[in-house]
Amino acid sequence: MLVNFNENLRALRKQKGNTQEELARFLNISVQSVSKWECGDGHPDITLLPLIASYYSVTIDTLFGVSEIEKQKRIREISDNYYKIRVEKQPDGTLLKQKGINEGIELIRNGLKEYPNDYWLMQVLASDLWWKSKSCENSEKLKLLEEAEILCDRIMQGCTETMYRNSAESILCMIYNDSGRYEKALEIASRSCDICDTVGWRLANILKGDELIKRIRKNIKELTMYLYLSIIQMKENSGSLDFESDSEFQIILDTINKELGR
């Protein structure tokens, strides 16, 4: 997606009426680097893209000449491929395909090369890096956690959408805990919202018609995933799923079974 970057950069610079030297000075790099970019002989480090976009008051996508419609279409393609690799129900009944994690990470990393400022991609990659770190040790584990933390920090610093910020906070909570920063993990966990006070839950009380049904299905899917992960955690820590003494849970379970049996 860097095909048109050199042409767009040159056009934006001329439109602003500034020189290569002025842009280089703003970025604290050599003028030769800017010259190479405009000639198509290279491209800037990913960390410089937000600065360049800010300097010319455009989005990063505009730097690459990507329209919003094209971007969303491509993101959907990446998303569909990702979920086929990582989240679709497997023959053994599991929801997460651990053996596909490396392929999923590679797919999302490549997606971020195309769209370096996409918060969905950042959040998904951070989550998978954390997942992978659980099966690693020592320096490899810390390296994965560090990369995931950087992605989450970028989301928290630049994103205004509650959904992605909440997701980034949840991942940071796990990263802090797994890297020995227990107090920071507790701090984040204690300020997190209740599962039934999320954007999805609120929307389900506002939307109507087909949009409501679509939202409810998404909510059920997400809640089912939370339930699945909670069951795994309980089995790992206690070895059983004993709810016999929990009368409130039994009432909820009986109600669900009644509704499903209609």
User: pLDDT value at position 54?
Assistant: 86
C-alpha distances out from residue 141 to 195, 232, 240, Å? 29, 21, 29
pLDDT of residue 238: 72
Task: For residues 121 and 173, state if they share a domain.
Answer: yes
Calpha distance 11→32 (Å, rounded) = 18
End-to-end CA gap in the chain: 51
Measured between alpha carbons, how far is 227 from 221 in angstroms, rounded to an integer? Answer: 10
Examine residue 260 and state whether it is found in any structural domain, yes or no: no
**Does one domain contain both 60 and 74?**
no
Residue 255 CB-density burial (10 A; 0-12 exposed, 13-18 middle, 19+ buried) = exposed
Domain end point (choices 192, 219, 252): 192
Same domain, 142 and 53: no
Q: Which of 192, 213, 238 is the last residue of a domain?
A: 192
What is the DSSP-derived secondary structure letter of residue 96? -
Q: What are phi and psi of 107, to 5 degrees?
A: -60, -45
**What is the extent of the structural domain holding 171?**
68-192
Lowest mean pLDDT among 65-69, 130-134, 170-174, 200-204: 65-69
Tens-digit pLDDT profile for residues 226-258: 787 777 777 777 766 666 666 777 777 778 777
Give the number of domains in the chain.
2
Q: Is 52 inside any structural domain?
A: yes
The length of the chain is 262
70-110 pLDDT, tens digit each: 778 889 999 999 988 887 655 555 555 566 889 999 999 99
With CA atoms as reference, report the closest residue to 122 among 87, 157, 89, 85.
157
Of 64, 85, 110, which residue sits at a domain end?
Answer: 64
Looking at the structure, tell me whether residues 19 and 45 fall in a common domain: yes
Residue 193: the pLDDT is 67
Residue at 204 is within a domain: no
Report the candidate in 89, 101, 80 with the shortest Cα–Cα distance to residue 148: 101
87 and 111 in a common domain: yes
Burial of 43 (0-12, 13-18, 19+ CB in 10 A): middle
247 lies in a domain?
no
Q: Are residues 34 and 126 in the same domain?
A: no
Do 31 and 84 belong to one domain?
A: no
Please state the rounded mean pLDDT for residues 155-159. 88
Of 55, 66, 132, 149, nearest to 96 (Cα)? Answer: 132
**72 and 188 together in one domain:** yes
Residues 20 and 73 reside in one and the same domain = no
Tens digit of pLDDT for each residue in 211-220? 889 888 888 8
pLDDT, residue 259, reads 76
Q: Is residue 154 part of a domain?
A: yes
